[in-house]
Chain A
Amino acid sequence: MARAQSPRRRLIATLAAWGVALTIFFPVLWMVLTSFKTEASAVAMPPELLSADWTLENYAEVWQRSDYPRFFWNSVVISIGSTLLGLAIAIPAAWSMAFVPGKRTKDLLMWMLSTKMMPAVAVLIPLYLVFQRIGLFDTKLGLILALMLMNLPIIIWMLYTYFKEIPAEILEAARMDGASLWSEIVYVLTPMALPGIASTMLLNIILAWNEAFWTITLTTTKAAPLSAFIASFSAPQGLFYAKLSAASAMAILPILILGWFSQKQLVRGLTFGAVK
Chain B
Amino acid sequence: MKISHRALLGATVSLTLAGAALAETTITVATVNNGDMVRMQGLMDDFYAKHPDIKVEWVTLEENVLRQNVTTDIATGGGQYDVITIGTYEVPIWGKQGWLTSLNDLPADYDVDDLLPAIRGGLTVDGNLFASPFYGESSMVMYRKDLMEAAGLTMPDAPTWADIEKAAAAMTNRDAEINGICLRGKAGWGENMAFLTAMSNSFGARWFDENWNAQFDQPEWKATLDFYLNLMNQYGPPGASNNGFNENLTLFQQGKCGMWIDATVAASFVTGKDSTVADQVGFALAPDNGLGKRGNWLWAWSLAIPSSSDAQDAAKTFINWATNKDYLALVASKEGWANVPPGTRTSLYSNPEYANIPFAKMTIDSINAADPNAPTVKPVPYVGVQFVAIPEFQGLGTTVGEIFSAALAGQKTSDEALAEAQAAVTEEMKAAGYIQ
Contact = CB atoms under 8 A, between A and B. Distances in A.
Touch test A–B (CB under 8 Å): yes
Interface string B62-76: 111100110010001
Given A40-B276, A137-B78, A237 B249 contact: yes
A106 to B, nearest CB: 39
A231 interface: yes
A275 B276 CA distance: 59
Interface residues of A, number: 31
A238 interface: yes
Contacts of B72: 124-125, 128, 217
Contact of B254 (A38, A43, A220, A224): A43
Interface in A213-243: 216-217, 220-221, 224, 228, 231-240
A220 B62 contact: no
B230 interface: no
B58 interface: yes
A43 B269 CA distance: 15
A108 to B, nearest CB: 35
Contacts of A240: 246
A240 B61 CA distance: 14
B33 A232 contact: yes
Given A40-B276, A65-B38, A238 B269 contact: yes
B59 A224 contact: yes
A88 interface: no
Interface string A128-158: 1100100001100000000000000000000
A146 to B, nearest CB: 16
B35 A236 contact: yes
B40 to A, nearest CB: 12
B128 interface: no
B35 A237 contact: yes
Nearest to A64: B42
Chain B residues touching A, range: 35 or more
A237 B245 contact: yes
Contacts of A238: 35, 246, 249, 269, 274
Contacts of B276: 40
A128 B250 CA distance: 37
B57 interface: yes
Nearest to B37: A236
B30 interface: yes
B38 A231 contact: no
Contact of B80 (A45, A220, A233, A234): A220
A138 B246 contact: no
B164 to A, nearest CB: 23
Contacts of B61: 216, 228, 231-232
Interface string B152-190: 000000000000000000000000000000000000000
Given A39-B274, A65-B38, A221 B62 contact: no
Contact of A232 (B60, B80, B246): B60
Q: Which residue of B38, B63, B69, B266 has the most chain A CB atoms within 10 A of its CB atom?
A: B69
A236 B266 CA distance: 12
Interface of A: 38-40, 43-45, 65-66, 124-125, 128-129, 132, 137-138, 216-217, 220-221, 224, 228, 231-240
Interface of B: 28, 30, 32-35, 38, 41-42, 57-65, 68-69, 72, 76, 78, 80-81, 245-246, 249-250, 253-254, 263, 265-266, 269, 274, 276
Give 3 nearest A-B pairs by CB, closest first. A232-B60, A236-B33, A221-B57
22 contacts: A40-B274, A40-B276, A65-B38, A128-B72, A132-B78, A216-B61, A216-B65, A217-B68, A217-B69, A220-B59, A220-B80, A221-B57, A231-B65, A232-B60, A236-B33, A236-B62, A237-B34, A237-B245, A237-B263, A238-B269, A239-B246, A239-B269
